[in-house]
Amino acid sequence: MRDYLLKIKTNSSSPSSLGFKFSIFSGLGGFIAIMTVSLLTYHFNAPFLMAPFGATCVLAFGVPNSPLAQPRNIIGGHLLSTVIGIGCFYLLGDEWYSLALGVGLAIGVMQLTGTTHPPAGADPIVVILGAKGLAFIFNPVLSGAIVITIIAILFNNLSKNRSYPSYWI
């Protein structure tokens, strides 16, 4: 028990702020990305937006060099997690165990495929509770993830201090 408790204790402190300029630039990127998918939703009367995309923007613009924020992870993670969520919903309905299995499987499959993207861990919950069908894979998941990724590429590279993506595959 003592060893377990010692793992929880830490000698490290929280990292310092990334600074005003970096933070404002990150926030502006998230604003532009969500504004764009929101406007696409409005103008095309089709869904391009879902709640997990807010967290995707935190990664894509706030920590763009993170492996979790790369295009492969954003698009692949959301696609795999959504497909898993739809499968769980079709097979098990909207039960507590379907939600738990969906999230657990999504985590495992994302890790196995090298597409881990934490916001995508919420996709099975969104799919199952919203009783979403196969069309949800394309709109909003695929279309929205691609739009956010394109904006992250264009916007992050406007800054001389950023280079995005770190890798594609």
pLDDT digits (tens, 9 = 90+) for 41-51: 999 999 999 99
User: How far separated are the first and last CA of the chain, in Å rounded?
Assistant: 42
Strands (E), 26-145: none
* 1 part of a folded domain: no
- What is d(CA 30, CA 36) in angstroms, rounded to the nearest whole number? 10
- The whole model's pTM is what? 0.93
Range of the domain at 100: 21-156
CB-based burial, 66-81: b 16+ in 10 Å, e otherwise? eebbbbbbbbbbbbbb
pLDDT of 16 over the 90 cut: no
Instruction: Confirm whether 147 is domain-assigned.
Output: yes
Inside any domain, residue 169: no
Rounded Cα distance, 157 and 1, in Å: 49
Residue 69 in domain: yes
Domains in the chain, number: 1
